[in-house]
Amino acid sequence: MTIISENFQRIENKIRRVYSAADNKPREKPVLLAVTKNQSHEAIKEALDGGHRFFAENKVQEAQGHWSVMKDNYPDLKLHLVGPLQTNKASDAVALFDCIQSLDREKLARALQDEILKQRKSISCFIQVNTGEEEQKSGLAPSALPAFLQFCREECSLKIDGLMCIPPVDEPAALHFALLKKLAKENNLKELSMGMSADFEKAIALGATYIRVGTALFGART
Ligand SMILES: *Cc1c(COP(=O)(O)O)cnc(C)c1O
């Protein structure tokens, strides 16, 4: 067995363990999104050969290099965008991704709506919430969520399925996961994308339905 497939097995076991011990858990075990940014084609191929089908990228252009051709060979593959999206890349993003987790402003919602109609695709969207209200970070302020959600649904007919957050590096992640869960509950949203290599166990204990793991699966990024 290769190191990467061992890592997948170890992480999947941890997910199962933490999920079965969690209180108030979602109906299904969280989905492991393998984050393949800065990884080689060989590493990606190993994950695919091991049977993994849920992946995430944080840049549209790099994702095209990794997946544009590959995606056609794996019809059951799901690809999520977890990094910031510029409106001028909305067309490429809609063409490639199944889910966009970084929706955070009206201009982007409009651009996505236009492309989804034009390309006749069905795309799942998560709203990224800036739970730490950090100046430099993308995402919507928690207080702006209800109005933005209404805008996305009523003005843009977008399919909004959940929320995503990236906690500040210098604060306990659990506080932010708990806040994201509360916001999802208040707004009737089912999916919660939270937790990365360092803190996915905490996120699962707090109700994550998607975790985003890169380095713990593939090793350090090159
Ligand atoms: C890179 C990245 C991850 C994965 O981070 P690791 O610490 O390598 O697991 C998760 N989410 C986002 C938004 C990322 O950009």
pLDDT at 221: 72
Ligand 1 atom nearest to 166, measured from its CA: 13
Q: How far is the CA of 78 from the centre of ligand 1 (A)?
A: 17
CB of 96 within 8 A of CB of 71?
yes
- Inter-CA distances, 51 with 57, 93, 98, 171, Å: 18, 24, 18, 35
Nearest to 4 by CA among 200, 12, 82: 12
CB of 103 within 8 A of CB of 128?
yes
Supply 152's token pair.
């996305």
DSSP 125: E
Ligand 1 atom nearest to 198, measured from its CA: 7
pLDDT at 222: 66
Q: How far is the CA of 155 from the centre of ligand 1 (A)?
A: 31
CA distance 219 to 11: 13
Q: How far is the CA of 40 from the centre of ligand 1 (A)?
A: 16
Ligand 1 atom nearest to 216, measured from its CA: 9
Residue nearest to atom 12 of ligand 1 (CA): 82
Ligand 1 atom nearest to 197, measured from its CA: 9
pLDDT one digit per residue (tens) for the chain, 222 residues: 789 999 999 999 999 999 999 998 999 999 999 999 999 999 999 999 999 999 999 999 999 999 999 999 999 999 999 999 999 999 999 999 999 999 999 999 999 999 999 999 999 999 999 999 999 999 999 999 999 999 999 999 999 999 999 999 999 999 999 999 999 999 999 999 999 999 999 999 999 999 999 999 998 876
pLDDT at 175: 98
Ligand 1 neighbours (beta carbon < 6 A):
35, 37, 58, 82-83, 166, 196-198, 212-216
- Inter-CA distances, 151 with 60, 102, 138, Å: 25, 16, 18
Nearest to 39 by CA among 65, 13, 15, 14: 65
Beta bridge partners of 32: 211
CA distance 168 to 61: 26
- Strand 54-57 vs strand 124-128: parallel, antiparallel, or unpaired? unpaired
Number of separate helices (H) and strands (E) present in the chain: 10, 8
Q: What are the DSSP calls for 183-222, one per residue?
A: HHHHTT--EEE---TTTHHHHHHTT-SEEEESHHHH-S--
CB proximity list for 15: less than 8 A, separation 6 or greater: 29, 30, 32, 200, 204, 211
CB of 204 within 8 A of CB of 22?
yes
